[in-house]
Amino acid sequence: MITHLSSEQVAEYIVGYPSPIVAEHLRDCPACRAEVVNFREALGDFRWAVRSWSEDQAPAMRSVVPDPRWWSPSHQFAGALLVAAICVIASFVIPRHPEKVPSSDAVLLSQVDAQVSRTVPSSMEPLMKLLVQK
């Protein structure tokens, strides 16, 4: 037999999932039974406080909720036009700078371009001169 119930065992009993040992202990132990009664009363007081608070807050919350007609199709269209106008204006205002290639990269690219644009490799150029002369 257990000496007294832990807070977890009391909570399990209140929730409705007690083990048979806990239920038997509560029948035999007046101290644990009193603790369960106190816990139930505390939960009841908390439930009452939450409900009364929410009922007090309900009128205030109703005034916060916007009128559903505020976002009518005409307002949606006006909002879409506003967003489109902002995008168009931003495309003109935001400066666009072409990406500048650093000078060393530009030199390298021109060398590569010169090599690729050749009709024959550089080692065969003397032979091409002989063919052109004939």
How many domains is the chain built from? Answer: 1
Q: Is residue 65 part of a domain?
A: no
Q: Can you give the pLDDT at residue 68?
A: 64
- The most confident of the ranges 2-6, 81-85, 105-109, 113-117 is 81-85
Report d(CA 18, CA 24) in Å as an integer.
Answer: 10
CB of 30 closer than 8 Å to CB of 5: no
Q: Is residue 35 part of a domain?
A: yes
pTM over 0.85: no
Report d(CA 134, CA 125) in Å as an integer.
Answer: 15
Q: Is residue 38 part of a domain?
A: yes
Q: Is residue 129 part of a domain?
A: no
Report d(CA 131, CA 26) in Å as an integer.
Answer: 114
Q: Is residue 26 part of a domain?
A: yes
Q: Is residue 29 part of a domain?
A: yes
What would the pLDDT profile of 74-93 be if each residue is shown by its tens digit? 888 888 999 999 988 888 88
- The most confident of the ranges 18-22, 65-69, 85-89, 109-113 is 85-89
Residue 16 falls in which region: left (phi positive, over 0), alpha (psi -120 to 50) or beta: left
The parent domain of residue 30 ranges over 21-54
Which tokens hold the place of 96?
Answer: 């666009």
Q: Is residue 68 part of a domain?
A: no
